């Protein structure tokens, strides 16, 4: 049993009763269902702060139901959905609708984020107070960046007043322009327009300044450059309320891995250079980055077939997240509990939620992990409706084999 909150690794039985962890004492009565976990690791269920489930507006790529199924297969019991749907989640009514759709889908806990600005246009703040009251857990215009400093400052003040974090897609559109990969050797090799690293650092620097001024917790999404990581490290040392996340694809790949005109390697922000990827791994090791997130972004095969220049940005990641990030443990970069905190206690802290644990009385949101066996990614068998992954055919070690939500088995892949 891996308990990241307690910092313990033990071998024992665990009993569940009425949706809660009971501990190692057997429940009363004879009707006990036995789940054989021998040879596996039991851990609190995983949390992903950054997913796109596309409903409403793009059901061909993903629905809340298929996204939830993919999450359960990946070991996730809780996800935060981004508001860049069609229409966007920018009002209290849209937040309530997102919660209703999530409740209808069932399976896992799905928490909606609300927009920072009306229509995600970046020109006027949305009704953040009302959305927070309706159940939004964070605010972001993910997929686009609020360029106007005054608008972002007002949004941060409103979010801070509501006790919610701001998640920022930190990429200055005036610098990024029409780029599709990072500026560098790969951009030249592929003949594609590049995105300068300054597109990220300019916004990260601004966000750090505004976080210090407003007191709002700002969480930088999908970091991809060494320079931005240095800014984040210095800000955290100074006590600025700012955090950042690392995606599996930015940890595992760099621009040199792009094979050619394959849009399954096109994501926003783009893959960094080798030095950026290595800096991100170091940032996870030294604690600058304490959160993993997939940025699960489904797209149909027909859209991705348009190639690197014209296809939409984004790759899926829920069903490969464990295997890709656990490689950091295999390499010796971090230990098992540090890795697990990136998917459990780290995200919970950002959201202001209790730390997931295996302690008696904790909700029985659990995942059973096989961290020893190798498997080969086959996107044709994914629960997600989309197949846009750069990891198809890759051999990985580590995957979820069972997911339990509130004491009920949401997915069992042991057979």
| Helix ranges, 106-243 (H) | 128-134, 149-161, 173-176, 185-190, 198-214, 226-237
CATH number at residue 68: 3.20.20.140
Give the closest residue to 50 by CA, choosing from 180, 143, 130, 182: 143
- For the chain, helix, strand, coil in percent to 5 are 35, 20, 45
376 has pLDDT over 80: yes
Alpha-carbon distances, residue 73 vs 350, 364, 413 (angstroms): 24, 17, 8
Q: Is the pLDDT of residue 183 over 70?
A: yes
pLDDT tens-digit series, residues 273-327:
999 999 999 999 999 999 999 999 999 999 999 999 999 999 999 999 999 999 9
Look at residue 38 and tell me if it is in a domain: no
Residue 7: inside a domain, yes or no?
no
* DSSP notation for 35-46: ---TTSEEEEPE
Cβ(37)–Cβ(68) under 8 Å? no
**Known catalytic residue: 295?**
yes
Does residue 210 register a pLDDT over 90? yes
Bridge partners of 110, per DSSP, are 79
Q: Would 244 be classed as within a structural domain?
A: yes
Listed range (14-28, 170-184, 237-251, 387-401) with the worst mean pLDDT: 14-28
Q: What pLDDT shows up at residue 25?
A: 75
Q: CA 228, CA 202: separation in Å to the nearest integer?
A: 9
Assigned domain for 374 exists: no
Indicate whether 283 belongs to any domain. Answer: yes
Question: Model confidence over 58-80: pLDDT tens digits?
Answer: 999 999 999 999 999 999 999 99
User: What confidence score (pLDDT) does residue 93 get?
Assistant: 98
Angle subtended by helix axes 321-330 and 274-286, to nearest 10: 80
Confidence grade of residue 29 (pLDDT, cut at 50, 70, 90): low
Point out which residues pair with 17 in neighbouring strands: 20
Whole-number Å distance between alpha carbons of 328 and 8: 19
pLDDT of residue 23: 85
Domain count, the chain: 1
Whether residue 161 is predicted with pLDDT greater than 80 in this model: the reply is: yes
State the residue range of the domain holding 57: 45-359
Angle 256-260-263 from CA coordinates, rounded to 5°: 100
Compute the distance between CA of residue 113 and CA of residue 96 in angstroms, rounded to an integer. Answer: 11
**Complete DSSP assignment for 135-165:** T---B--TTS----HHHHHHHHHHHHHTT-P
Residue 14 domain flag: no
Reported as a single tens digit per residue, the pLDDT across 231-256 is 999 999 999 999 999 999 999 999 99
Our measurement of the distance from residue 35's CA atom to the centroid of its chain's CA atoms, rounded to an integer in Å, reads 29
Q: pLDDT grade, residue 30 (50/70/90)?
A: low
Mean pLDDT of the residues in the chain: 96
35 in a structural domain: no
pLDDT recorded at residue 24 = 82
Note the pLDDT tens digit of each residue in 324-374. Answer: 999 999 999 999 999 999 999 999 999 999 999 999 999 999 999 999 999
Percent of the chain with pLDDT over 90: 95
394 located within any domain: no
Strand 8-9 to 2-3 pairing: antiparallel
Neighbours of 56 (CB within 10 A): 17
The answer, yes or no, to whether residue 31 has pLDDT greater than 80, is no
Catalytic residue among 278, 295, 306, 372: 295
């Amino acid at each position: 049993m891996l308990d990241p909150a307690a910092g313990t690794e033990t071998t024992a039985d665990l009993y569940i009763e009425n949706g809660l962890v009971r501990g190692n004492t057997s429940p009363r009565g004879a009707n006990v269902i036995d789940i054989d976990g021998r040879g596996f690791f039991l851990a609190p269920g995983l949390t992903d702060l950054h997913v796109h489930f596309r409903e409403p507006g793009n059901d061909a790529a993903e629905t809340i139901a298929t996204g939830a199924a993919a999450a359960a297969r990946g070991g996730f019991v809780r996800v935060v959905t981004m508001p860049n749907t069609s229409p966007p989640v920018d009002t209290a009514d849209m937040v309530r609708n997102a919660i209703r759709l999530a409740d209808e889908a069932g399976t896992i806990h799905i928490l909606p984020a609300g927009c920072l600005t009306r229509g995600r246009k970046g020109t006027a703040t949305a009704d953040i107070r009302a959305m927070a009251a309706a159940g939004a857990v964070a605010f972001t215009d993910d997929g686009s960046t609020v360029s106007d400093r005054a608008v972002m400052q007002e949004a941060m003040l409103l979010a801070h007043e509501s006790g919610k974090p701001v998640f920022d897609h930190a990429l200055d559109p005036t610098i990024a322009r029409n780029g599709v990969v990072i500026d560098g050797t790969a951009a030249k090799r592929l003949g594609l327009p590049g995105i300068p690293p300054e597109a990220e650092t300019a916004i990260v620097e601004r966000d750090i300044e505004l976080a210090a001024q407003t007191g709002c917790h700002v969480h930088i999404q999908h970091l991809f450059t060494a320079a931005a990581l240095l800014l984040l490290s210095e800000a955290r040392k100074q006590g600025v309320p700012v955090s950042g996340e690392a995606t599996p694809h930015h940890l595992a790949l760099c621009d040199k891995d792009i094979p050619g005109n394959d849009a399954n390697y096109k994501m926003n922000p783009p893959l960094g250079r080798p030095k950026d990827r290595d800096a991100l791994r170091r940032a996870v090791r030294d604690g600058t980055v304490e959160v993993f997130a997939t940025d699960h972004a489904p797209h149909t095969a027909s859209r991705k077939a348009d190639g690197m220049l014209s296809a939409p940005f984004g790759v899926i990641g829920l069903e490969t997240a464990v295997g890709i990030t656990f490689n950091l443990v295999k390499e010796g970069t971090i230990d098992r509990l540090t890795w697990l905190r990136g998917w459990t206690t780290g995200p919970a802290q950002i959201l202001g939620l209790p730390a997931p644990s295996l302690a008696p009385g904790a909700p029985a949101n659990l995942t059973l992990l096989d961290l020893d066996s190798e498997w080969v990614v086959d996107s044709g068998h994914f629960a997600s409706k989309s197949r846009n992954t750069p990891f198809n055919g890759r051999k990985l070690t580590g995957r979820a084999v069972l997911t339990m939500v509130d004491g009920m088995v949401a997915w069992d892949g042991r057979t």
